[in-house]
Amino acid sequence: MRYLLPLLAAGTLSACADLLVQTTPRWDARFGIDTRMALARQILHPEAARNTDPVAGMDGRGGRAAYERYQKNGGEQPSPLLNSGAK
């Protein structure tokens, strides 16, 4: 009876350790890829920091309107136009 609690705790910890062992290799395989890509981009285009041309894309008014629509809808994503599951 006095060994029941330590035995249950050991079983629980071993189950948790098994989960960590299974998922960690997937994380480790991609660790640091984004940092290496950013460094490679800086080496390829060192003059990019001096670029004063704004990024092409959405202007301030369009961004604000999109944000307000998002807030008005309660944070829901718009439904997709094409439904791939439809028959």
Whether residue 84 lies inside any domain: the answer is no
Whether residue 10 lies inside any domain: the answer is yes
Number of domains in the chain: 1
Q: Identify whether the C-beta of residue 87 lies closer than 8 Å to the C-beta of residue 79.
A: no
Domain membership of residue 23 as a residue range: 1-44
Tens-digit pLDDT profile for the chain (87 aa)?
A: 677 777 777 777 776 665 555 666 777 777 888 889 989 999 998 888 888 876 777 788 888 998 898 888 876 666 656 555 554
Tell me the CB-side half-sphere exposure of residue 14, using CA atoms within 13 A. Answer: 6
Whether residue 65 lies inside any domain: the answer is no
Whole-model pTM over 0.75 = no
CA–CA gap between residue 52 and residue 61 (Å, rounded): 21
CA–CA gap between residue 85 and residue 50 (Å, rounded): 47
